[in-house]
Amino acid sequence: MSENNHTDGLFTIELTGRIDSGNAAEVETDILSRLNGQNVKAIVLDASALDYISSAGLRVILRLKKTWKDLTIENVNPDIYETLEMTGFTEMMTVKKAYRVVSVEGCEVIGEGFNGKVYRIDKDNVVKTYKNADALAEIQHEREVARLALILGVPTAISYDVVRVGDSYGSVFELLNAKSFSKLLAKEPDRYEFCVREYVQMLRKIHSITVPQGKLPSVKEKVLKQVTRTAEQLPKELGEKLVSLVRAVPESDHMIHGDYHTKNIVLCGDEVLLIDMDTLSVGHPIFELFRMYNAFVGYSEYDPEIVLNFQGYPAETARRFWHDSLSAYLGTTDEARIKDVEDKVRCVSYGNLIDWITRHPTGDEAKDEATRALWKSELVELLGRLDSLEFDLPGEEAFDPDRLELDALSENLDRVLDFVNERLEGADCPPKTQMQINIAIEEIFVNIAHYAYAPGTGRMSLTVKLSGDPLEATFIFVDRGKPYDPLKKEDPDITLSAEERQIGGLGIFMTKKIMDRMDYAYRDGQNILTLVKKL
């Protein structure tokens, strides 16, 4: 047993080696002699060097506990912890396990969030480190909300171990060969469209989840506090308007990640996972979107190098990714609509950023002031013309991962085929069948794009469902264009010579031949065309 240390009535006593029937009495006498005459308010037994303890040693601890109610045992190795747990000591007093030490020196950073970083420590495992030195409560919270998210349908990883990393703690996850989307965008630019699609699909999944009451905190109150502090730096009328606009945002019980950017989405094998779950909450999607804007644009609006240093790709890529993700999330390529929503998002963003830089100065006073001035000018301009932060959200059906909604424009054909092929490949569709389906899908989509809304444009959706035994694929096209039943179109006479044949009509004919079944209905102002193909 080593010397005890004490501060303000808190005594730390180090237990070493073995405590058994042969030396328990001696150990107890030694401890009591050290405490005799001292102003003892609390005792910490440091068991980091304790190798063995018998029932005799446990009785010593129990007698100490009876005298000093505030007694804690720390740094307990797994074997001794099991003994203490088996005998009920973990219920009678605070017992803290020892944590193995992990070094992240030289390790690759694969993710980063507001509260910490994620490092790869070997090919199978990563560790999330926390900025807060006393992070055990944060770790416990994140493990609980990650389990909740997994139960509710969000693909994520659950920590299986807690370790010491430097002066703080870390959570260890098994993420085999995982790559963040930031890494993909920086090193594999040809996967840009894949990243946008999967990023938005995950975002829609999160926002589609209704969280049981009381399971996650509301994000709105936190944002209100931030913009209220920012309001004090604005002209009184504009400050009051900012707070009023945020307060008017409707409450929601739908899930919000809270730190949703490309370092927190990882590709693990063929599976896309969401990490860094400690910011999970509930609220309106604008409270998600404004943090996304911050990550891709806001923080680096004055200094573009910030996003390069943080995400690993240049500001041009970040801004493009933000725009394309917002477009896909809203289900529109209408730039006026995208800008309208973006302006509302930016209003909350600047309200948050001004408060953030006020409370987290970088040390470069001139740069901080210039950054704050830029954000303030943008916010003042927005407050001068915005009367609401509300916007139309995609309908519930838009969150269906098997449903794609987009503008019926020929240039969107690749998005449609990618969407279809992703699902066919997941079902191990034979290449020949997949090619035939692609021909049919192209014919129908291009037909809608050219004629449904001519001379204008409009929206359409495609739903892909795989079911049955043997497996069959169902493709449902819906548009609100002019009523048109392609099944009534007369088949071309393919026996005629080239000189006698009329141009056109082959697309619908080929689709009929390729598909096993086609059905058409016009309901509620919508053309509904269903194609079925056995796989």
Which tens digits make up the pLDDT trace of 464-487?
999 888 899 999 999 999 999 988
> How large is the greatest C-alpha to C-alpha distance in the chain, in angstroms?
115
The fold of 183-383 is Aminoglycoside 3'-phosphotransferase; Chain: A, domain 2 (3.90.1200)
Residues forming beta bridges with residue 518, ordered by sequence position: 531
The two beta strands, 161-165 and 517-523, are unpaired
* Direct distance between the N- and C-terminal alpha carbons of the chain, in angstroms, rounded to an integer: 73
Quick check: do 183-383 and 402-534 share a fold?
Answer: no
Are the beta carbons of 65 and 71 closer than 8 angstroms? yes
Burial class (CB in 10 A: 0-12, 13-18, 19+), 293: buried
More confident residue, 344 or 486: 344
The most confident of the ranges 51-65, 110-124, 287-301 is 287-301
* pTM for the predicted model, two decimal places: 0.65
Per DSSP, helices labelled H in 360-470 are: 365-383, 413-426, 431-447
Per DSSP, helices labelled H in 297-334 are: 305-311, 315-330
* DSSP assigned state of 101: B
Q: Which residues contact 405 (CB under 8 A, 6 or more apart)?
A: 331, 394, 397, 398, 459, 460, 461
Does the pLDDT at position 135 exceed 80? no
Residues forming beta bridges with residue 534, ordered by sequence position: 472
Q: Taking the CB of residue 366, how many other CB atoms lie within 10 A of it?
A: 7
Domain 5-97 indexed as CATH 3.40.50.300: no
Burial class (CB in 10 A: 0-12, 13-18, 19+), 367: middle
Q: Taking the CB of residue 251, how many other CB atoms lie within 10 A of it?
A: 9
Cα 100 to Cα 119: distance, rounded to the nearest angstrom = 16
- CATH architecture entry for 108-174: 2-Layer Sandwich (3.30)
pLDDT band of 501, cuts 50, 70, 90: very low
H/E run at residue 85: helix 78-86
Average pLDDT of 116-123? 85
Q: Is 61 helix (H, G, I), strand (E, B) or coil?
A: helix
CATH class of the region 402-534: alpha beta
Average pLDDT of 20-43? 90
Cα 290 to Cα 295: distance, rounded to the nearest angstrom = 9
* DSSP assigned state of 212: P
Which of 75-79, 129-133, 309-313, 336-340 is least confident?
129-133
Q: For 275-284, write each residue's pLDDT tens digit.
A: 888 899 999 9
Q: Write down the mean pLDDT value for the chain.
A: 88
Task: Give the model's pLDDT for residue 1.
Answer: 54
Q: Is 433 helix (H, G, I), strand (E, B) or coil?
A: helix
- The ranges assigned to domains in the chain are 5-97, 108-174, 183-383, 402-534
Cα 155 to Cα 205: distance, rounded to the nearest angstrom = 10
Are the beta carbons of 268 and 176 closer than 8 angstroms? yes
pLDDT band of 365, cuts 50, 70, 90: very high
Which of 14-18, 37-41, 217-221, 236-240 is least confident?
37-41
Does the pLDDT at position 496 exceed 50? no
Q: For 44-77, write each residue's pLDDT tens digit.
A: 999 989 989 988 889 999 999 988 899 999 989 8
Task: Give the model's pLDDT for residue 493.
Answer: 55
Task: Give the model's pLDDT for residue 506.
Answer: 61
At 330, the amino acid letter reads L
The two beta strands, 459-467 and 472-479, are antiparallel
Task: Give the model's pLDDT for residue 504.
Answer: 46
Task: Give the model's pLDDT for residue 503.
Answer: 40
Q: Is 167 helix (H, G, I), strand (E, B) or coil?
A: coil
Q: Is 340 helix (H, G, I), strand (E, B) or coil?
A: helix
Does the pLDDT at position 497 exceed 50? no
Does the pLDDT at position 354 exceed 90? yes
Does the pLDDT at position 121 exceed 50? yes
Average pLDDT of 503-531? 84
Does the pLDDT at position 498 exceed 50? no
The position carrying tokens 């990883």 is 157
Task: Give the model's pLDDT for residue 178.
Answer: 82
Does the pLDDT at position 334 exceed 70? yes
Q: Which residues contact 192 (CB under 8 A, 6 or more apart)?
A: 185, 321
Residues forming beta bridges with residue 477, ordered by sequence position: 462, 529
Cα 522 to Cα 34: distance, rounded to the nearest angstrom = 89
